[in-house]
């Protein structure tokens, strides 16, 4: 991790666009910046108390997760350098974004096609079979790459287990897809294709497969019930 002085930090972010920000003690701080060369600087605030982020800094997790995803041939970002910016009590990772279009961006223009739904189901299965539990997974963090693959970004909040995920974790992870109504509505028309593709090679016990399918469908039913309620 390289130390970055305040003056060098200010030079680095000159002309940058703040993609996301946070308010800390009444002051707005950038969290993710797009620099002038189109690379990304993601900043992490250091906590004052002993937390997991102190024991294993977010930038370290980011580096580890990127490395492990690449070892599994899963497309993700390309890290340039990580920084410690003591003057603003931040660490940061400077990286090149994954070329492509997020699934959410795709869905703003086009529906999810049958082949894409199959590939998404198979992709989720691949993650779960390899013990990957990605808490922050949603359509904004899934990228359809320029070479027609599926990749992941914003990979800090991720766990790697030595064995395939237990059914409870699989169900819980699939639930993370349902944070945003627009994502649910986009997946709904092809949900059966998605879950069939997931289950086809999962080799789950029939009772476990029924449990997963039922819970997955219930997420859509709850969304439908909300839409059917009178205003």
Q: Does domain 100-228 have CATH number 3.90.550.10?
A: no
Query: Are β-strands 78-85 and 27-34 bridged in parallel, bridged antiparallel, or unpaired?
Result: unpaired
Answer whether residue 23 shows pLDDT above 60. Answer: yes
Tell whether the model's pLDDT for residue 78 goes beyond 90: yes
pLDDT level of residue 48 (50, 70, 90 thresholds): low
Measuring CA to CA, how many Å separate 219 from each of 46, 175, 187? 36, 7, 11
Phi then psi for residue 206, to 5 deg, are -50, -40
Predicted local distance difference test score (pLDDT) of residue 141 = 94
Give the CATH architecture of domain 2-96: 2-Layer Sandwich (3.30)
Q: Give ranges for CATH 1.10.510.10 in the chain.
A: 100-228
**What would the mean pLDDT of 99-103 be, rounded to a whole number?**
95
pLDDT at 226: 47
């Amino acid at each position: 991790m390289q130390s970055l002085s305040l003056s060098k930090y200010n030079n680095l972010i000159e002309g940058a666009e703040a993609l996301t920000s946070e308010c800390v003690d009444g002051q707005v701080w950038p969290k993710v910046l797009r620099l002038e060369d189109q690379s990304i600087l993601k900043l992490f605030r250091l906590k004052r108390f002993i937390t997991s982020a102190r024991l294993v800094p977010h930038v370290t997790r980011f580096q580890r997760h990127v490395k492990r995803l690449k070892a599994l041939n899963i497309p993700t970002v390309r890290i340039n350098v990580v920084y410690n910016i003591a003057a603003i009590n931040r660490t940061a990772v400077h990286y090149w974004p994954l070329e492509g279009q997020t699934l959410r961006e795709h869905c703003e223009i086009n529906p999810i096609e049958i082949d894409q739904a199959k590939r998404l189901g198979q992709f989720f299965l691949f993650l779960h079979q390899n013990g990957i539990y990605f808490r922050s997974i949603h359509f904004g963090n899934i990228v359809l790459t320029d070479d027609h693959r599926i990749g992941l970004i914003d990979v800090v909040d991720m766990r790697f287990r030595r064995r395939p995920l237990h059914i409870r974790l699989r169900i819980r992870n699939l639930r993370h897809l349902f944070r945003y109504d627009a994502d649910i509505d986009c997946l709904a028309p092809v949900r059966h294709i998605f879950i069939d593709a997931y289950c086809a090679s999962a080799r789950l016990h029939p009772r476990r497969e029924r449990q997963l399918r039922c819970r997955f469908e219930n997420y859509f039913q709850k969304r439908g019930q909300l839409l059917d309620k009178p205003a």
